[in-house]
Amino acid sequence: MEISEIQVDGYERVARCRDTESGLHALIAVHDTTLGPSLGGMRMLPYVSEDEALFDVLRLSKGMTYKSAVAETGLGGGKSVIIGDPRELKSPELFRAMGSFVNAFEGQYITAEDMNIGIPDLELVSQTTEYVVGLSRESGSSGNPSPYTAYGCMQGMRAVLEELYGEVDFNGKRILIQGIGAVGGNLAVRLKEAGATVLICDINDQRLAELRDEHGFEIVQHDGHETTECDIYAPCARGAGINDDTIPRLRCKAVAGCANNQLLEPRHADDLKARGILYAPDYVINAGGIINVSVELLPGGYSEEAAIARIDRIDDNLRKVFEISRNKNMSTRSAAAYLAEERLKQGR
């Protein structure tokens, strides 16, 4: 196994690992550990080049620094990528080698699940490093993050309602959820319980029908769903749905959902502001999962009670973001970055 360093301005440590025996070709980026050791998922994709993988790992690790700074997890930002087709390259040897690579960071990088990496893969990784979180609940770890992400999003929506209407009352509010998978489905049920009128859209017709039959949600066609009049539009599917094409057609008062990278480009936060649509920055409102997993690292280990108490602060974080946005006349996206930078400055 050969580990080599890559010098990148603004990043604490970036390294590549090549292991001919297992076929591992991977990168780990630690962006910033001012607030604690870096935590971020491991993803596996058939990147066309190492440069493409490097671009991804740098962007994602920096994003984790900001996400954790705002969520106050006491952690920094890092990420890892394995270059290769998960359908062809996965093997126990590959993941054990990846564990040794993670271990070479001596705890400054802690890994977790991300795209194309599941708990069985992480269990193999954990054979060669202790710096892994998000294993199964049975093993004493924090388990599936999705219900916590959904719970955190709902907490965040409280701040959104307050900002829109001066009070937190879900009764009769029309909330449109795009994508009713692990997170969106859970969120839909919670919102209905709180009294909201829940509208759902997805490309999976069977899942839509199941949820409608069980909970009485209203189905909206996914093509053109953004033109649906509602109080809150909650993207919970893929990223980039907020763009030049959709923004003029939105008929919601706020965008607040769990999907990562909802804005196609940063400037779209300004376009939402210009249209008077309140945007809850994705990485602030979808932090429930990372907060949940971070609790594993507290002295005494994981407890759901401790996790919920911390996730409950998401609405306060959003209130701060909205306040900064108002006071400094900047988009909520810029305001979230400002809040993260402030917390990093305090930590330095």
Min separation Cβ 327 and ligand NAD, Å: 28
For 217, which DSSP code? P
Min separation Cβ 92 and ligand NAD, Å: 25
Closer CB to ligand NAD, residue 57 or residue 183?
183
Q: Can you tell me which residue has the tokens 């292991």?
A: 19
DSSP code string of 132-192: B----GGGTS----HHHHHHHHHHHHHHHHHHHHSS---TT-EEEEE--SHHHHHHHHHHH
33, 286, 294, 325: residue in contact with ligand NAD (rule CB under 6 A): 286
Closer CB to ligand NAD, residue 203 or residue 209?
203
Q: Which residues contact 32 (CB under 8 A, 6 or more apart)?
A: 11, 12, 38, 62, 65, 76, 77, 344
Min separation Cβ 192 and ligand NAD, Å: 17
What are residue 39's DSSP bridge partners?
77, 110
Residues 252-281 that bind ligand NAD (CB under 6 A): 258-260
Environment class of residue 149 by beta-carbon count within 10 Å: exposed (0-12), middle (13-18) or buried (19+)?
Answer: buried
The site that binds ligand NAD (CB under 6 A) totals a number of residues, namely 25
With binding defined as CB under 6 A, does residue 238 bind ligand NAD?
yes
Give the active site residue among 62, 79, 90, 320.
Answer: 79
18, 192, 207, 319: residue in contact with ligand NAD (rule CB under 6 A): 207
Of 14-22, 89-97, 168-176, 199-207, the window that binds ligand NAD (rule: CB under 6 A) is 199-207
203, 209, 274, 309: residue in contact with ligand NAD (rule CB under 6 A): 203
With binding defined as CB under 6 A, does residue 183 bind ligand NAD?
yes
Structure tokens at 191: 């919102």
Structure tokens at 343: 């917390």
Laid out side by side, the sheet with 38-45 consists of: 2-5, 13-19, 24-32, 76-83, 38-45, 109-113
Structure tokens at 146: 């999705």
132, 237, 250, 272: residue in contact with ligand NAD (rule CB under 6 A): 237
**79 is a catalytic site residue:** yes
Residues 75-104 that bind ligand NAD (CB under 6 A): none
Integer Rg of the chain from CA: 20
The count of other CB atoms within 10 Å of the CB of residue 46 is 14
174, 222, 319, 343: residue in contact with ligand NAD (rule CB under 6 A): 222
Residues that bind ligand NAD (CB under 6 A): 145-146, 149, 178-184, 201-204, 207, 222, 236-239, 258-260, 286, 289
Catalytic residues: 79
